[in-house]
Chains A and B, each alone.
Chain A
Amino acid sequence: MGSDKRTNIFRILLIIIAVVMIVFGVMHGEVSIALRKAIKICLECIGIG
């Protein structure tokens, strides 16, 4: 198998993994976890909490 073909298969695999991770995270409420963290001044994030 040529190196281009291997790289393209690897790319597709990584894209599939990325999509699965995003869907899994969204389904398990991670978006709201990220949103809750991002819309409040996160004192521990800036080193004073």
Chain B
Amino acid sequence: MKITREIKRKIIQVAAFGYSNPWLGNFAGGNIYQGNWKQFCNPGMNCYSCPAAGLACPIGAMQAGANSQSYRFGFYATGVVLAIGVVLGRAVCGFLCPFGLLQELIHKIPSPKLHLPKWTTYIKYALLAIFVILMPMLAMDGTGVRSPSFCKYICPVGTLEGGIPILASHPELRSLIGGIFTLKMAILIVVIVGCVLVSRFFCKVMCPLGAIYGMLNKVSLYRMDVDSAKCISCAACSKVCPMDVEPYKVPNSAECIRCGHCITACPKEALSAGFKLNTKESNTIDMKGA
């Protein structure tokens, strides 16, 4: 059997899921791992209240930083995300994100498959600005604690990986279920149905981490190039793109998760991805002249 690019990517995704969630035995008792590895941020979305999680969620850690006494911003976690983003960009989403793998598996459920309008991809930037940065910075409860607003009100990853397993194994906590958890369950159901119908629904519409990595896609060291001498603008790459990108026009789009489906689909081998210092802007297709 030939080890295709997609099989290699799946192996990396499963390995990333494994190192993100090595403590599977904790599901039985509803405990969570409490070791020092949790001071390090996972590159992808993975709730740190998940019983199996071995690392900190970067978005959770960014919000936790707002509880610093001298300032209201998570410099440590933001710096880590920035450094990872400059090197890998949204390749993290395509290769290393545990929730990305889950979404790809959910999307395999047979159903009509839909495409979202472009404007929906901007929602994640609003969620990043309001729920991850501004609200933890500005909103404080009666005890002087700043809430991790994205985790508290929105994050379906936390509901799926943390909320449901913890409530399943801790009956005494079920009396705390209220309006916020109901809202989060509703969001989780919308996301799961969305992922069945739309490829990577959460990544496209809601993921604040994907929004940060997406902004860095244009400068990240891991990047894509189009060889204009080979490209015949057949758009075969666009037709297979799970993120609805047109790789032959915008190879380093903020939406591209570097999955490489387009590279495999290209009949002329005009697309390539890898760690590159040169941007090869001259090699991208000039659509004004096309």
Contact = CB atoms under 8 A, between A and B. Distances in A.
**Binding between chains A and B:** yes
B203 interface: no
Contact of A47 (B35, B82, B183, B216): B183
B216 A42 contact: no
B38 interface: yes
Contacts of B155: 45
Given A35-B38, A42-B148, A25 B65 contact: yes
Interface in A1-49: 3-4, 7-8, 10-11, 14-15, 17-26, 28-35, 37-49
Nearest to A31: B39
Interface string B160-172: 0011001100000
Contacts of B213: none
Contacts of B61: 34, 37-38
Interface stretch (B66-74, B111-119, B264-272): B66-74
B19 interface: no
A39 to B, nearest CB: 4
A45 B36 contact: no
A7 B39 contact: no
A43 B180 CA distance: 11
**Size class of the contact patch on chain B:** 35 or more
Contacts of B25: none
Query: Is chain B's binding surface mostly helix, strand, loop or mixed?
Result: helix
B82 A46 contact: no
Contacts of B148: 37, 42, 44-45
A10 B279 CA distance: 12
B78 interface: yes
Contact of A41 (B32, B78, B152): B32
Interface of B: 32-36, 38-39, 41, 47-49, 53, 56-57, 60-61, 64-65, 67-68, 70-71, 74-80, 82-83, 86, 147-148, 151-153, 155, 158-159, 162-163, 166-167, 173, 176-178, 180-181, 183-184, 216, 219, 221, 277-279, 281
Interface pairs A-B: 7 shortest CB-CB: A25-B76, A21-B79, A22-B79, A46-B163, A25-B75, A30-B76, A18-B83
Interface of A: 3-4, 7-8, 10-11, 14-15, 17-26, 28-35, 37-49
17 contacts: A11-B219, A14-B219, A19-B83, A21-B78, A21-B82, A25-B74, A30-B74, A30-B77, A34-B65, A35-B38, A38-B38, A38-B48, A39-B33, A40-B32, A45-B47, A47-B152, A47-B183
